[in-house]
């Protein structure tokens, strides 16, 4: 049997009365999953990708993986920065729902839809880059939502960034990146205008960092590497920029870069051996760091000189 398609988005519109279905959302989606599995088993064909769409109403990031490969976590996306920022903010609390066999779906991408629609989309080039970067590193399905026959060179450039697609399609690691510092907003507090700005995660190719400037003006972004769980203490790292495709030297303990308004950096760090012996004190964290004699070295982000 040939299905004739390899992807099914099963929507939640026009929900029947409960006195007819008596199964709630989980039960309705499970019925379709059972039907897909039954036909695949009877015909010996591989089942297609099953995508749930109930807009996060009943926490599909908890149960979606029991029956499907992806699930929407929010309402319909729109081609405006406030909407993209709000989805990134939600991702900072639901990132853990994505793994190798199932993925949070942050909705179809709006890259390339500037000037289209009613009212027309207004994402800037930097915002579109941030949008694509986040979706790729969140391990969301990368579904193109624009007319490629009329796509600009900038749109094609963004949608063709192989370094980011490679992370999204990592054959061994399916987990999303996660935030380790919120930046403008207090840590672990939701803010749809200023979502978490400092994200990291692991990949088959190295440690991944996404740095986001949520502000409306250019900003200097500074962070300590060791604040990311994926970084090893006492090591230095080679830095590869996944947007410029350039190798940008070696990072020791912290990094600083400049980003435009709503801009993004996507970095891949690989181990470059022990950090230089001159680094002092012997641990890079701010709290509970001690000297060899056992006394605390409290430096508040600034490494003291020897």
Is residue 68 in some structural domain?
A: no
Identified catalytic residue from 76, 187, 216, 271: 76
- Residues (pLDDT < 70) of the chain are 1-2, 278-288, 297-306
Q: Is 76 a catalytic site residue?
A: yes
What does the pLDDT look like over 203-260, one tens digit per residue?
999 999 999 999 999 999 999 999 999 999 889 999 999 999 999 999 999 999 999 9
> Which tokens sit at 115?
């000037």
Q: Which domain holds residue 92?
A: 73-274
Is residue 232 in some structural domain?
A: yes
Is residue 160 in some structural domain?
A: yes
Is residue 286 in some structural domain?
A: no
Is residue 199 in some structural domain?
A: yes
CA–CA separation, 29 vs 204, rounded Å? Answer: 33
Per the structure, the count of domains in the chain is 1
Give me the pLDDT at residue 242, please: 98
Is residue 21 in some structural domain?
A: no
Give me the pLDDT at residue 131, please: 98
State pTM to two decimals.
Answer: 0.92
Residue of 40, 154, 29, 186 lying closest to 102 (CA atoms): 29
Identified catalytic residue from 2, 6, 11, 99: 11
Give me the pLDDT at residue 303, please: 47
Give me the pLDDT at residue 306, please: 46
Strands 254-259 and 219-224 come out as: antiparallel
CATH number of the domain to which 130 belongs: 2.60.40.1180
Q: Is 11 a catalytic site residue?
A: yes
Is residue 183 in some structural domain?
A: yes
E strand or H helix that includes residue 265: strand 264-274
């Amino acid at each position: 049997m040939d299905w004739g398609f390899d992807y099914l988005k099963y929507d939640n519109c026009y929900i029947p009365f409960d006195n007819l279905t008596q199964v709630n959302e989980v039960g309705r989606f499970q019925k379709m999953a059972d039907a897909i599995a039954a036909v695949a088993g009877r015909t010996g064909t591989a089942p297609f990708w099953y995508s749930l769409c109930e807009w996060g109403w009943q926490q599909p990031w908890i149960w979606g993986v029991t029956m499907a490969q992806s699930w929407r976590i929010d309402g319909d996306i729109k081609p405006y920065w406030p909407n993209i920022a709000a989805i990134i903010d939600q991702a900072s609390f639901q990132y853990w729902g994505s793994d190798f066999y199932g993925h949070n779906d942050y909705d179809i991408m709006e890259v390339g839809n500037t000037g289209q629609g009613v009212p027309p989309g207004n994402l800037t080039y930097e915002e579109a880059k941030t949008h694509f970067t986040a979706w790729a590193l969140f391990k969301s399905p990368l579904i193109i939502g624009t007319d490629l026959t009329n796509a600009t060179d900038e749109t094609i450039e963004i949608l063709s960034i192989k370094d980011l697609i490679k992370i999204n399609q990592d054959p061994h690691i399916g987990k999303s990146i996660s935030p380790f510092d919120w930046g403008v907003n207090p840590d672990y507090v939701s803010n749809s205008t200023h979502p978490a700005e400092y994200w990291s995660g692991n990949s088959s190719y190295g440690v991944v960092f996404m740095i986001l400037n949520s502000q409306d003006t250019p900003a200097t972004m500074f962070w300590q590497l060791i604040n990311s769980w994926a970084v090893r203490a006492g090591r230095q790292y080679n830095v590869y920029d996944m947007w410029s495709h350039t190798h940008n030297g070696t990072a020791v303990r912290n990094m600083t870069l400049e980003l435009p308004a709503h801009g993004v950096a996507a970095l891949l760090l690989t181990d470059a051996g022990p950090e230089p012996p001159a680094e002092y004190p012997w641990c890079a964290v701010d709290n509970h760091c001690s000297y060899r004699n056992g006394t605390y070295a409290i430096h508040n982000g600034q490494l003291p000189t020897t």
